[in-house]
């Protein structure tokens, strides 16, 4: 994530002074990419900057903040599940810039489309962060720490779990010597459909039709995979339950 | 699905003789679209055609086949979960053209990218169907009835269940007055990532990191939603189990 955010700020014309990582190789790699200086000791931090952006593992945020707070500069973290209070323990110049996207080092992401969630210790800092955020993203949202936690949970349902189900499908095909490429267009179209519409309105499959014959047949096909049977039953029940409240295309 | 397939054949230069539906309005709508004649009685079928394509509900396939078999023309169905044998009861000129995609009347689909699964009663019919299929799709697969059943089950995991989880995520946000637009880019990128890579290799989230703190926190946030807790636990266990066998980016 640090890689993508740093590149986005660089491309928007901002000057990235330094990249810090305890691993000098990692620091140097990103620093080279964005024209910054690499450091691997927090004591080497150059305080001539407007903002420190902390993009480290959640449990390291407090320690890094403590080490930087003495410079009296704005400090922001980028974590979905970390409260702003973690920064406020050490400084009142604090905020959050949380980019809601799944990043991989091997894939380019159009950062302009990434929702950026902002929280700040006060209105002045909020305005500054908003101004900064608009230089890299067209999707700025004001989300506080409680909202960010909900978002992070919702993202597990919208991203991590679907990806796991793709893998289940891939394994089912592989077990029968079929190619995952058969499913790739379906996976993409399913995600594209909900870009404009509500997922409930475009739900398809045996559960939303309450097609018990097909569901029973599927459960029999999973007879030697009790965990997948459980998943199949639970998710089908969820679809049936939703559908009793709302109606969409079958 | 009939709409999209008929349009694809029409666009590829084929002549669609008639569109039959017991509902004349539906028949006329599609017939107008593809330059065919609409009929709502099977007795009005024009036998001057090379092929009858049956794209009806699964439980109506046998009845329609029986009504058409006397014409001694090639009959194919388009169903993922229906065995070729259902046609073979009435005719030996039988095959299957199963397009593996989720279709909605309100969304255009590039049919050339849709995987088309072919099965046929004999090699000559297979060759004919393959030739026909290549005029509308670049993704032709030979899949028999048993394979098609597996594919259909896998598609439930790869499409229907992820769509349900999108809806769960949408509801979590709505409960806290947040906008589903926050998650839409994440959903799309998650599907795009697996277009080139294996889902297991790009799995992210607390479960694949075995981050028990975050998972417990998420379960507490779902305290008043026991069904979602169960889904969260089961899917997280699945991710952890997969990850103990394979390794990918965290």
Would you call A167 and B195 a contact, using CB atoms and an 8 Å cutoff? no
How close does chain B come to A45, measured CA to CA in Å?
28
Q: Rounded to 5 degrees, what angle do the CA atoms B69, B74, B76 make?
A: 90
What pLDDT, in 10s, does the model give residues B197-235? 999 999 999 999 999 999 999 999 999 999 999 999 999
Residue pair A163/B199 in contact (Cβ under 8 Å)? The answer is yes
Residue from A24, A158, A169 nearest A101 by CA = A158
Q: What are phi and psi of B7, to 5 degrees?
A: -65, -40
* Confidence class for position A1, pLDDT limits 50, 70, 90: confident
Q: Say yes or no for a CB contact (<8 Å) between A189 and B156.
A: no
pLDDT tens readout for residues B7-52: 999 999 999 999 999 999 999 999 999 999 999 999 999 999 999 9
Q: Which residue of B has its CA nearest to A230?
A: B234
Q: Which among A114, A168, A203 has CB closest to B164?
A: A203
Cβ neighbours, 10 Å, residue B146: 11
Contact yes or no for B160 and A241 at CB 8 A: no
- Decide if A108 touches B, using CB distance below 8 A: no
Task: Respond yes or no on whether ipTM tops 0.95.
Answer: no
B117 touches chain A (CB under 8 A): yes
B147-169 burial: b if 16+ Cβ within 10 Å, else e: bbbbbbbbbbbbbbbbbbbbbbb
Smallest Cβ–Cβ distance between A102 and the set B204, B227, B235 belongs to: B204
Chain A CA closest to residue B188: A191
pLDDT in tens, B8-19: 999 999 999 999
Whether the pLDDT of residue A193 is over 90: the answer is: yes
Contacts of B184 in chain A (CB under 8 A): 194-195
What does R_g of chain B's alpha carbons equal in angstroms?
Answer: 23
**What H or E segment, with its residue span, contains residue B68?**
helix B61-68
Q: Which pLDDT does position B250 carry in this prediction?
A: 42
Q: Nearest Cα to B200, choosing from A139, A101, A168?
A: A168
What gap in Å lies between CA B152 and CA B78, rounded to an integer? 12
What's the mean pLDDT when you consider all of chain A? 94
Restricting to A residues 11-40, those with a Cβ less than 8 Å away from any Cβ of B are none
According to the model, what pLDDT value does residue B247 have? 46
**Residue A192 binned pLDDT confidence (cut-offs 50, 70, 90):** very high
> Given CB atoms, is A60 within the 8 Å cutoff of chain B?
no
Nearest Cα to Cα of residue A7 among A81, A83, A93, A109:
A109
Contacts of B182 in chain A (CB under 8 A): 100, 115, 117, 139, 141, 143, 151
């Amino acid at each position: 994530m640090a890689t993508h955010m740093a590149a986005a700020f660089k491309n928007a014309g901002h000057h990235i002074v330094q990249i810090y990582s305890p691993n000098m190789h990692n620091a140097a790699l990103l620093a080279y990419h964005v024209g910054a200086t690499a450091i691997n000791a927090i004591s080497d931090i150059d305080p001539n900057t407007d903002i420190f952006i902390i993009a480290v593992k959640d449990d390291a945020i407090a320690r890094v903040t403590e080490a930087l707070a003495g410079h009296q500069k704005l400090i922001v973290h980028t974590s979905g599940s970390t409260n702003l209070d973690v920064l406020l323990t050490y400084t009142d110049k604090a905020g959050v810039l949380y980019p809601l996207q799944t990043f991989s080092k091997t894939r380019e992401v159009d950062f302009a489309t990434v929702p950026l969630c902002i929280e700040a210790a006060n209105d002045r800092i909020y305005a500054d962060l908003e101004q900064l955020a608009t230089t890299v993203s067209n999707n700025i949202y004001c989300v506080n720490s409680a909202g960010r936690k909900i978002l992070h949970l919702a993202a597990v349902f919208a991203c991590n779990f679907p990806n796991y189900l793709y893998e289940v499908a891939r394994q089912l095909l592989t077990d029968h010597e079929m190619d995952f490429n058969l499913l790739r267009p379906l996976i993409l179209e399913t995600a594209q459909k909900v870009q404009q519409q509500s997922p409930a309105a475009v739900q398809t499959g045996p559960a939303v039709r309450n097609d018990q014959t097909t569901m029973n047949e599927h459960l029999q096909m999973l007879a030697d995979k009790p965990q997948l049977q459980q998943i199949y039953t639970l998710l089908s029940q969820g679809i049936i339950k939703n559908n009793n409240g709302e109606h969409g295309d079958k």
